[in-house]
Amino acid sequence: MSPEEIFALPYRPNVGVMLVNRQNRVFVAQRLDSEFDAWQMPQGGIDPGEEPRVAALRELQEETGVSPELVTVEAETTGWITYDLPHDLVPRIWKGRWRGQKQRWFLMRFHGDDGQINIQTEHPEFSQWAWADHRDLVDKIVPFKRDVYARVVADFSQYL
């Protein structure tokens, strides 16, 4: 695909979740499909007609096994945060339909215990998970998402 063709593509609607525990540590996980040592917070697509908050709670449960009754939504980013995929990835990811994602992020406080987190879900996306300091998040993510993570950390820092 040419740069012009990629630029003409829309952004995929998406949500992200910064799940924090009682110690203000952030849930991060290593993707199963990544060849790099790249960790991320839970995120996923918004279904047609689905509200972002509902999508965020659904994605959290699908990826971590954490049910909505185990969290409190404390904050939401203002507006959408976008990122572009590297051009070489566009044709391979999402069948070349999107140039990147527009995301709405939610800060959720986890009230459960570690035993209630289960990444071995019906369709697992992660190989391992950990609690991380929010100041280390940007360095753990793939380079093309670092600006998004920096903004999310900045937006939610007052809660951490």
Write down the pLDDT at residue 140: 86
d(C-alpha 155, C-alpha 103), whole Å: 14
Q: Low-confidence residues of the chain, pLDDT below 50?
A: none
d(C-alpha 135, C-alpha 150), whole Å: 9
Secondary structure (3-state) at 106 = strand
Write down the pLDDT at residue 93: 84
What is the Cα Rg of the chain in Å? 15
pTM of the model: 0.93
Write down the pLDDT at residue 101: 95
Instruction: Quick: pLDDT tens for 95-141.
Output: 899 999 999 999 999 999 999 999 998 889 999 999 999 999 999 88
Write down the pLDDT at residue 1: 87
β-partners of residue 104 are: 15
Beta strand residue intervals within the chain, DSSP E: 11-20, 26-31, 39-40, 43-45, 71-76, 81-84, 100-110, 126-132
Q: How many CB atoms sit inside 10 A of residue 138's CB?
A: 16
Q: Report which of 42, 51, 44 is spatially closest to residue 17, judged by C-alpha positions.
A: 42
Write down the pLDDT at residue 63: 96
